[in-house]
Chains A and B, each alone.
Chain A
Amino acid sequence: MKEFKGRVIAGGNWKGEAAVSHQGFNSLASFQKSALKNAKQVIVSDQNNKDLFGKNITDKALCLPITIGSTTGGLVIQTTCQMGISPACYLFSESIDSLAASGIVLAKIWENSPVIAIDRLGEEFLNTVKTGDQLEVREDGTVIILD
């Protein structure tokens, strides 16, 4: 069991599975295919993302450094929250970027979304957590990788 503490952007308690991107997560490239198909889950469609391409991230804890790419990114995050196919948590190792922050704020204010976001979890968090790990996320920004 290993514990990390970050800054709460949007708090909540949650337990579930991690999906890890070691590189910047391109929201539009990752979500667009599933969102356009009106799919029930997000299968990552970003060809550049070697960690998550082709993987399901709906209702998982997306562990990432930051998001990158198109400035539709925030709206895409908001839309996937509205559609109910978003990751349950966004766990950033670095300080959250402006696009992801927009998406989380839009989802909270305009969609009343329960999405959780914690940033500044540190490089060690991203080096330790692996796709498929079980995580516990607490309201105070604690993230525990369960054994």
Chain B
Amino acid sequence: MYKPKMELTLEQKEILEGKQGPTMAKIMETVVMFGDIFDAPRLVKVTHDDGHLVTSFGIKLLKPLFSTMEQINDAGIKTKGNFTVDPRPIDYKNVKCNLLEKLVFSKIMYAKQEMYEEQLAKAGLKDKNAFTCAAYLPEIGNTPKEGDILSWAESSAVVFANSVLGARCNRNSGMLDLFGSIIGYVPEFGLLTDEGRKAKWKVIVKCSKLPEAQILGSAIGMKVMEDVPYVIGLDKWLGNEINDENTGYLKDFGAATASNGAVGLYHIDGLTPEAKKLGQSLIRDDAKEYIIDDAEIERVYKSYPIMWKKPDKKGNLVFIGCPHLTFTQLNNWTDKIIAGLKETGHKKVVVRTIMTTAPDILDKFKKTPKYEKLLKTGVKVTSICPLMYTNNPLTKSRRIYTSSNKLRTYSTARYAKDQEILDFVIGKENK
């Protein structure tokens, strides 16, 4: 049996010794061994019981995931609270696929989807609408309080929860997210500690206007990797209170820092909760400095490789919303597309355009008159994960544009700024 380095309570020791069965013992061993690598002195209680899992997709080859879930289900083990999970991979109604694509998705790539969703339900899945990468938004309600300890994964959700909500969560991997939610404890190290939340980088933004969230996040992620950045100079555009408008910006910024780097927490001077309380005392004495101006933003933007097979051809598909759009973002995009089409004289968008948002946000949006108006423009709204769609080897031939730096990183999709995407879909710019 594994000999832990950290101090365990009697209950935790007994689980490790197998008192609650071999599967619980293995789960405890995994969490403890993981914590020991980081010299965690103990396990601390998860105070926000509702977990969030990164693994939502029944990709056939993820045999370790399915076999572990089977062991968990067979042992009747459930998470302490309910959990949300990343988006589903398929929505044939709104993201049309041809026969061959359907065959590849349903019979080959995601052949285990139904079985896996049953496994998730048995383990403690919240409900049928629980599939979103932005479960922390109020419409979904898996929203931790400041200071809460979490056992979450999904890089964009972890960085949002830490930075914008002031919760405490390490960048847990898939499986560890579930294990922490089952035992109700996580190892105390890194972003769970005051010291681990101090900034190793002072980032000074000297741009002439608010930089594109996705490029700024990408630049910072690539520079600081897994360190904590303290960003100065954004509050003059974003304000000093978290609100519906800047929530979307912070979500997209964070997702880019986490996917283009490994950022789990950022502080925005004068805006995010810890920066407002503690100010620049959060910056370590030995912090390095990174100055970002218009030229640096443009340098980073131009550095992205183009992965299309035929880069000179026009794009033929646009994805907007990775991570899932907030309600405000969905409304803003709708307004801009409708106004833009009036300006260009087109009745419908000139390229196939798909927006993605959480199921609960989509339900709310459907109750507003804007939903029908948006549908009339030809735009489709779905709750899938665009990455899961673009993972299909058959989509390689598609020339996808996206305003998501995360989607760019994990697919052959080409990144474009929000305004460029808008001009393209309304037929103003020939991309």
A residues adjacent to B (C-beta < 8 A)? 9, 24, 26, 28-29, 32, 35-38, 47-48, 65-75, 78-79, 82-83, 96-99, 101-103, 105-106, 108-111
Q: Are B61 and A68 in contact (CB under 8 A)?
A: no
A75 to B65, CA, bound (A): 8
Question: Does chain A have a CB within 8 A of B362?
Answer: no
Stretch at the interface among B6-14, B26-34, B76-84, B116-124: B26-34
Q: Is the CB–CB distance between A71 and B174 below 8 Å?
A: yes
Shortest CB distance A49–B (Å): 11
Of the residues B38, B61, B410, contact of A83 by C-beta under 8 Å:
B61
Q: From the candidates A69, A102, A110, name the one contacting B262 in the complex (CB within 8 A).
A: A69
Identify B174's interface contact among A32, A66, A74, A96, CB under 8 A: A74
Shortest distance between the CB of A2 and any CB in chain B (Å):
25
- Closest-by-CB residue of A relative to B258 is A69
Interface class of chain A by DSSP: helix
Contacts of B30 on A, CB cut-off 8 Å? 105-106, 109-110
- Which residues of chain B come closer than 8 Å to A70, judged between CB atoms? 54, 155, 259, 410
A74 to B59, CA, bound (A): 16
In the bound complex, CA of A111 to CA of B175 (Å): 13
Contact A28 B410 (CB under 8 A): yes
Q: For A37, what are the chain B residues with a Cβ–Cβ distance below 8 Å?
A: 393
Q: Which residues of B contact A68 (CB under 8 A)?
A: 221, 225-226, 260-262
Inter-chain CA distance A36–B412, complex, in Å, is 15
- B binding-site residues for A, Cβ under 8 Å: 26, 29-30, 33-34, 37-38, 54-55, 59, 61-65, 68, 109, 153-155, 158, 170-177, 190, 221, 225-226, 258-262, 305, 307, 391, 393, 409-410, 412
Q: Is the CB of B225 within 8 A of A99?
A: no
CB–CB A102/B61 < 8 A = no
Residues of A within 8 Å of B172, CB to CB, are 71, 98, 102
A104 to chain B, nearest CB (A): 8
Contact call B38/A101, Cβ cutoff below 8 A: yes
A82 touches which one: B63, B153, B412 (CB < 8 A)?
A: B63
Question: Is A24's CB under 8 angstroms from B225's CB?
Answer: yes
Which of A74, A79, A98 has the most chain B CB within a 10 Å cutoff?
A98
The CA of A70 and the CA of B322, in the complex, are separated in Å by 13
Chain B residues with CB under 8 A of A97: 171, 226, 262
- Can you report 28 A-B residue pairs in the complex whose CB atoms are below 8 A from each other? A24-B226, A48-B260, A66-B226, A68-B221, A69-B409, A69-B410, A70-B410, A71-B54, A71-B174, A72-B54, A75-B54, A75-B65, A75-B173, A75-B175, A79-B62, A83-B61, A98-B38, A98-B173, A98-B190, A99-B171, A99-B262, A102-B172, A103-B173, A106-B30, A109-B30, A109-B33, A110-B26, A110-B30
